[in-house]
A and B are shown apart, each in its own frame.
Chain A
């Protein structure tokens, strides 16, 4: 196990823990840049991972760091998407300006949603955000002149500086936006703003007595979270290519929440893991639909052609169930809450610790202790 000897206070403010960690992230970045060469057919799916990554960061700031759980984030995504499409296509503003405006507008709506939220806490706040999301969805449906109403609205490809972005360029654009979002958020989290958020999450009363203006910081958290959603929404519009109000439903909000819970509350890593999971699971399931019955049929055909055929048709019928995807999502969420409340990131840290302590790892290291203090809340 490596121990890092710190020699200056600055070291605690570095973006990366040390050179080794930085190099790992560099390697990851290079891998992400090389991905278009390896799996060109899945580029658009991986772009969605990056977009969902932004959404994950957004909800992580709010739910994981400030402790305000929102079930209305799909509505922010929708506002970002519609605002961007309206500005760039209907008004013909340049792409960057249009995205910036979409971000500002979404942040503004975030503030408006956040204001009543200051008086509510816990599950009441969640219900309030849910209500707002439903209202916003109705507005998107009925504001024909801007949103195109139920007919929806076709979205052109990204055009920046006169260049039209293809699939590959769009992939890199999404990656860049995700990196920007990560950097900005990491800046906030290691500065007084982020500390105040964590303080609000863990004890509002203590935060207040230490001079944190609860109203101001909760509003900032809502605005920042919504702004990230706005940026994600602009990209999302290009990804789906066609906007309709029924994309931005409560189900999508629940998926975002699933993302941060499965990824691991309270870490940016968790947001990204969750995004990978939520964005790629449907792809995996559709791949499985195509291939697994044939594989299993082939495997069982050693017991005779009849066995192979019947297994094939049985499995085929199962994987073609229309509700398979939400079912699998739900099952995984339940399993995570039961067995790994810290999410994928929590599991990853345990695995890492296992190897760095090998052979001295004790299962009890992460054993949930019976305590009767408030620490129980996030566990």
Chain B
């Protein structure tokens, strides 16, 4: 079953054609990876999905609904959560508060409930806390629960960001370079988590990644982009062996654009 579809996405930044005619479909339960050299437009795809950019052309369909024009904050409510390439956590809040913010789409109380501290706010907070604690257990973050994000090392922040996205209980998780800046061991953990997220939690993952060993380990489908155009699509092995992909990464034997 198709969970997510991008149809013919295109966007220009000034004279630069960042994406041109990118189409792909993500099956429910799959890990779908977008690879490509720097500047290929991978993160731009994510920013189109989370409605930070306006596409010049094309449609984004999620669970059969066209979400190309929904307001940015509604995207999370539809069940799409994301992480960022350069961590975007709430740095002067504790880890727990960061995770609880991930529960924002599930809040039922209104401003005046909060203002008066009604019992309903309290019971809802408890429910959110339970959900956040599940994520803390899942990602082994117990010992950092009350630390401020500013005081946490980079590797942990990366995991916290994953946790915050999981707290929204998404159907589709966008991971923007989950292994960047992580050491070998942390990357290993990340690979296990990504597998657990799809198998145990049943969340579909759309990921941008450079580390090819991680890509081939977890991905069901891989899409390769270069200069905003899709150049190859298939399993990790097929894409890695594709002559266009090799040329994009390594250049041609005759010099070319290396």
Contact = CB atoms under 8 A, between A and B. Distances in A.
Contact of A192 (B74, B88, B96, B104): B104
- Chain B interface mostly: helix
B125 A191 contact: yes
Contacts of B115: 184, 187-188, 193
A184 B50 CA distance: 34
Contact of A202 (B75, B90, B133): B90
Interface string A335-379: 000000000000000000000000000000000000101110010
A209 interface: yes
Interface stretch (A7-15, A21-29, A85-93, A128-136): A7-15
A86 B171 CA distance: 55
B102 to A, nearest CB: 6
Contacts, number: 117
B104 A195 contact: yes
B121 interface: yes
Contacts of A79: none
A187 B115 CA distance: 6
Contacts of A183: 117
Given A209-B75, A210-B76, A198 B109 contact: no
Given A10-B126, A188-B115, A211 B92 contact: no
A320 B127 CA distance: 62
B126 A210 contact: no
B68 interface: no
Nearest to A203: B88
Nearest to B80: A209
B129 interface: yes
A191 B168 contact: no
Interface residues of A, number: 36
A199 interface: yes
Nearest to B76: A211
Nearest to A204: B88
A286 interface: no
Interface string B168-189: 1000000000000000000000
Contacts of A214: 73
A110 interface: no
A205 interface: yes
A315 interface: no
Contacts of B52: 205, 208
Interface in A1-50: 9-10, 12-13
A376 to B, nearest CB: 10
Sorting the interface of chain B by its residue count into under 10, 10 to 19, 20 to 34 or 35 or more gives 35 or more
A100 to B, nearest CB: 14
Contacts of A210: 76, 81, 101-102, 104-105, 164, 168
A206 to B, nearest CB: 4
A207 B168 CA distance: 12
Nearest to B157: A373
Contact of B72 (A12, A193, A203, A208): A208
A213 B75 CA distance: 11
B203 to A, nearest CB: 16
Interface in B70-128: 71-77, 81-82, 84, 87-93, 96-97, 100-105, 107, 109, 111, 113-117, 121-122, 125-126
A212 interface: yes
B111 A220 contact: yes
A196 interface: yes
A230 interface: no
B90 A199 contact: yes
A9 B96 CA distance: 12
Contacts of A198: 90, 92-93, 97, 101
A205 B47 CA distance: 10
Contacts of B71: 213
B126 A9 contact: yes
Contacts of B107: 192
A72 interface: no
Nearest to A183: B117
Interface of A: 9-10, 12-13, 183-184, 187-188, 191-196, 198-199, 201-203, 205-214, 220, 266, 371, 373-375, 378
7 contacts: A9-B126, A188-B115, A202-B91, A203-B88, A210-B76, A210-B101, A210-B168
Given A12-B96, A209-B82, 13 more contacts: A10-B122, A184-B115, A184-B116, A191-B114, A192-B107, A193-B111, A195-B100, A201-B90, A202-B93, A203-B90, A212-B104, A213-B73, A374-B91
